[in-house]
Structure 1
Amino acid sequence: MKEQRLTIAVPKGRIMGEAIEIWRKAGLPVPKDIEDTRKLILTTEDGAMEWILAKPMDVPTYVEYGVADLGIAGKDVLMETGREVYELLDLKISQCRLSVAGLPRVEPKGIMPRIASKYPRVAERYFREQGKQVEVIELHGSVELGPIVGLVDRIVDIVSTGQTLKENGLVEYETIADISTRLIANQVSYRMKQAAIKEIIERLKEVI
């Protein structure tokens, strides 16, 4: 890998911790003190890899535009952003689901129900495919508040254990998609640095 230095965009937060663990298990280089630093760009000690620490929603953008050769991104982020990247490998980490939820036994009001989500594009596309016309309201915080305060009829959000829904009196109605974390690549980088990228894929496959 030393012949071709790779830049990888990694999402800050929980996914990064799980990704680092699988990266190390595969014997791949990880920047020193990555869990403790406030730096946004780090290089591994052997100089083979540069890591960009980014917001999860920004990772596919850095990869599509070639700022990063590779990226680690949740399937939910890939579905929402629709960036033109290659999806190389399911890392089988941070597994959850993207679901429709709401208050129990409360039917949507009016001819155009309101849906709150951090994933407005996914939500709109899903309901359109169901033949339903809805108004999608983008929220960035605790989406569960939407139906509780009467802002919306339903929410589209990530569900892991379902405990947050339960504690807030909500129920899960439908699953839109099963979600996990993926290794993605810039389309040009995949062609130009194919040997180095394929080595990473093979090493990761051994520990997944």
Structure 2
Amino acid sequence: MSVLTIAMPKGRIFEEAAALLVKAGYEIPPDLDDSRKLIIDVPAENMRFILAKPMDVTTYVEHGVADVGIAGKDVMLEEERDVYEVLDLKISHCYLAVAGLPGTEMQDVAPKIATKYPGIASRYFREQGEQVEIVKLNGSIELAPMIGLSDRIVDIVSTGRTLKENGLVEFERIVDITSRLIVNPVSYRLKDEQIDELVDRLAQVVEEA
């Protein structure tokens, strides 16, 4: 049987996904995420894990260097890669929202929106009939309205604490986000039995949760 390569992001999603795999009966080393290695082989399960940046997981799966991946719905909506979404793992719950300084109006002409998600933000405001200018940032999005860089931000909200601590308020909720199991279309044909077993075992755990 060939090795099944799984791309996973480090951090919170990894921890929750690894816990699901263990519950599904897979023998996953408990210190998998503590390693400095980026590729970890688990011979007992005929699996290989690639630890990646969250935004890169869908790219690895689309290009076939990983057969399977675990990615947030936010990344999938932003990247729009050619992959199959086969299971909602119902972990890492959060949502995308529009936020800004309280009591402020957006500029009438081309208001600026700061975000890590230019694709999602552009589509959302276009659907609202608003023409905006997107300012792409890679981190500390909350800073943008505070220093006058943008009228609003579009960012991930999990507890709302970060917004509150920075004196921002949520204006609109765009979409709920959870992590999904995704599959490379070619891998699904070549390794269908292994992938189907993984999906079935994880689905059972998700339903029981």
If the length of structure 1 is used for normalisation, what is the TM-score? 0.96
Superposed CA offset, 1:65-109 (max 9, x none) = 000000000000111111110001011110000010111110012
Aligned to 1:131: 129
Distance 1:143 1:32 in 2: 33
**Aligned: 1:84 with 2:82:** yes
Distance 1:41 1:29 in 2: 17
Aligned to 2:24: 26
Equivalent residue in structure 2 for 1:62, among 60, 63, 78 = 60
Amino acid at match of 2:166: N
Superposition deviation, residue 149 in structure 1: 1.1
Q: Name the SS of the counterpart of 2:87 in structure 1.
A: strand
Aligned to 1:15: 13
Distance 2:177 2:99 in 1: 16
Aligned to 2:173: 175
Q: Aligned pair in 2 of structure 1 residues 112, 71: CA closer, same or farther (>3 Å)?
A: same
Superposition deviation, residue 110 in structure 1: 3.5
Quote the RMSD (CA, aligned, Å).
1.1
Aligned to 2:140: 142
Superposed CA offset, 1:32-81 (max 9, x none) = 63122101111113151010011110000000000000000000011111
Q: Which moved more, 1:43-52 or 1:133-142?
A: 43-52
Q: Name the SS of the counterpart of 1:35 in structure 2.
A: helix
Amino acid at match of 1:102: G
- Contact 1:29/1:49 (8 A) holds in 2: no
Amino acid at match of 2:171: Y
Distance 2:28 2:79 in 1: 27
Q: Which moved more, 1:78-87 or 1:41-50?
A: 41-50
Q: Aligned pair in 2 of structure 1 residues 7, 31: CA closer, same or farther (>3 Å)?
A: farther
Distance 1:114 1:174 in 2: 16
Distance 1:206 1:186 in 2: 22
Distance 1:35 1:68 in 2: 18
- Contact 1:99/1:175 (8 A) holds in 2: yes
Superposition deviation, residue 206 in structure 1: 1.4
Q: Name the SS of the counterpart of 1:155 in structure 2.
A: strand
Amino acid at match of 2:170: E
Structure 1: gaps of 5 or more residues: none
Distance 2:139 2:118 in 1: 14
| Count of paired positions | 206
Aligned to 2:98: 100
**Aligned: 1:185 with 2:183:** yes
State, as a whole percentage, how many aligned pairs show the same letter. 61
1:35-54 alignment runs, 5 A limit? 35-46=33-44, 48-54=46-52
If the length of structure 2 is used for normalisation, what is the TM-score? 0.95
Amino acid at match of 2:173: T
Structure 2: gaps of 5 or more residues: none
